[in-house]
Amino acid sequence: MKILLLGLGRANLHVARYLLDKGIEIFLYEENLNNLSEEAQMLIKSGRIKEYQKIKYDLVVSSPGFPDSKPILQELRKKGLEIIDETEFTYNNLPNPRVIAITGTNGKSTTAALISNILSAAGIRNFLGGNIAPGRPFSSALFEKPFDYYVIELSSFQLMRIKNFHPEIAILTNISVDHLNWHKDLNEYIGAKKRIFMNQNSCDYAVLNYNDERVRSVEKEIKARVVFFGTGCHDGAWLNGILHFKDEEIINDDEIPLLGQHNRFNVLAAIATAKILRIPNEFIRKGITGFAPLPHRLEDLGIIGGIRYINNSMSTNEASAIASFMAVPGNKVVIVGGREKGDRAENYLKILTQWAKAVVILGENAEDIAGYFDRNQFQKYKIAKNMDEAIYFARKFAQPGDVIMLNPGFASFGHFRDFQERGEAFKNGVFKD
C-alpha cells in the first residue's frame, strides 16, 4: 500500500507516525521543508518517508493548508485518486468515535473548549482538538486509548475533504466573510461549513445560531434534530440577562468569565450541547465558571503604568474584530492590520474612526488602511514597522485609564507565521523592561 501525504505539518505528522507504525509505505509532497518541525525533518532525513513520485497511490492525505487550486491537487484529482484530510483519516481509523464537532467563522475554539470543560466537570473523559490553537490535532488521538467523546473544532478547509466523518452533535456558531483567499467564493465557503451536517441522520443533533440568518436557514437542509441558541429561541438555549435552556435557568450573565455578547452566544452553544447530553446543570455551571479564556482571544494581560493591555491576536476577520472591539469598555488605542483574506474590513475601519482613541497599523496592508483613514479625515494613527514599534506608538497615544488592544481584523501572515506568534510578540513587547 502506498500513501501520499501533502504536507507534514502538525496534523499530518501524526498521520505519518501512525502509518509508519503500521508498516505502510509513505511518500511526501512538501513545499516548505525548512519550516517543518524538528521531528518532521528527522523523519525525512531517516529515509522512512520517501519523496513524491509520479506513481499510483492508494490514498492521498492532504494538509488543510493545500487549497484545491494547488497544481499538485489538480494533477492528483485528474488521476482519480482519493484525497482526504487528516480529520477524515483519523475518524476512519478510530474505533467508533463519538464526535461533537464545532465549526463557524468565529467562536468555534472557545465553544469547543467550553464544551470540553463542561464534559470534564461532569467526569466525562473527552479529547479536545482539531483546528483549535493552541491545541492538539485530531490525529494525535490515534495514539491514546478511546475517549468517551471527541470534541473537534473544524475549519472550512478540513470540511472540504470529509467523506464519512459523522458527528453525533454538530455546532455551527456563525457565518461571515472569511478565507476567500483559499475558497473560490463565499458560496463555496458557506457550502464547506454546511458539510459538517452532511452525514448526520435523524438520531443526531445540529446546534445552530438562531440569530445568524445564514445559519438558521440550514435547518431546512439537514436531517438532524435542530436545537437553536441565541435570543428569541425559547425552545433552545437563550438569554435575557440569565442564560436559559428552555424554561430552566442555567447561569447568570455576571458569572461568565468572558468578555462580550459574542461570548455569551458561545456559552449558549455549549449549554445546548450539554443539555442534549443530559449533563446536570451543576456541572454545566461548574464547567462555565471554571473556564479559563483561551490565549490570544480577548486575553487580559493586566494593567501596566495605569494602562490595560488586551491581546486579541486571534481576531483575523472583520466580524470578530468588531465584536471584540465592542466587548472591551473604555478608551481604546488599537493595533490593527495584517494580510487580507478577501475582505477589506471597511466596516471595522469605520468603527475605529468613530470610536477608537487612536490606531496603530501593523501589517502588509498598512498603506491601504492608512489610505482609508486619510479619505475619511481620521488622522489619529501611526504606521509601525514591527510589533515593538507598534506598542511604542500605542503608548504614546494612551494615558492612564486607557486600553491598548491588539485587535488586528486581518490574518497575521507577512510579519508573522500565525496569530499565535503575533500574539506572543505583543505579549513579549508589553512585558519588556
Give how many domains the chain has, as a whole number. Answer: 3
CA 143 to chain CA mean position, Å: 24
Mean pLDDT over 112-134 rounds to 96
pLDDT at 95: 96
The residue with greater pLDDT, 177 or 388, is 388
Asked which of 81, 102, 137 is the last residue of a domain, the reply is 81
Confidence of residue 340 (pLDDT cuts 50, 70, 90): confident
The strand pairing partners of 225, in sequence order, are: 205
Q: What are phi and psi of 7, to 5 degrees?
A: 95, 150
Whether residue 408 sits in one domain with residue 339? yes
Whether residue 255 sits in one domain with residue 112? yes
Q: What is the Cα–Cα distance from 274 to 286, expressed in whole angstroms?
A: 12
Whether residue 99 sits in one domain with residue 17? no
Whether residue 247 sits in one domain with residue 126? yes
Candidates 251, 240, 239; CA nearest to 283 is: 251
pLDDT in tens, 234-257: 999 999 999 999 999 999 999 999
Asked which of 49, 81, 113 is the last residue of a domain, the reply is 81
pLDDT at 182: 44
Instruction: Name the residue with cell 428552555.
Output: 246
Asked which of 81, 98, 132 is the last residue of a domain, the reply is 81
CA 59 to chain CA mean position, Å: 27
38 within some domain: yes
pLDDT in tens, 85-114: 999 999 999 999 999 999 999 999 999 999
pLDDT at 356: 98
How high is the mean pLDDT of the chain? 94
pLDDT in tens, 358-383: 999 999 999 999 999 999 999 999 99
252 is in which domain, residue-wise? 88-289
294 within some domain: no
Residue 165 has pLDDT above 90, yes or no: yes
Whether residue 271 sits in one domain with residue 245? yes
Find the angle CA(16)-CA(17)-CA(23) to the nearest 5 degrees. 90
Mean pLDDT over 104-129 rounds to 97
Whether residue 120 sits in one domain with residue 260? yes
Whether residue 425 sits in one domain with residue 362? yes
Residue 159 has pLDDT above 50, yes or no: yes
Residue 74 has pLDDT above 50, yes or no: yes
CATH code of residue 149:
3.40.1190.10
Whether residue 262 sits in one domain with residue 117? yes
pLDDT at 179: 44
Q: What is the Cα–Cα distance from 74 to 246, expressed in whole angstroms?
A: 49
pLDDT in tens, 172-231: 999 985 545 544 578 888 999 999 999 999 999 999 999 999 999 999 999 999 999 999
Residue 429 has pLDDT above 80, yes or no: yes
CATH code of residue 40:
3.40.50.720
User: What percent of the chain is modeled with pLDDT above 90?
Assistant: 85
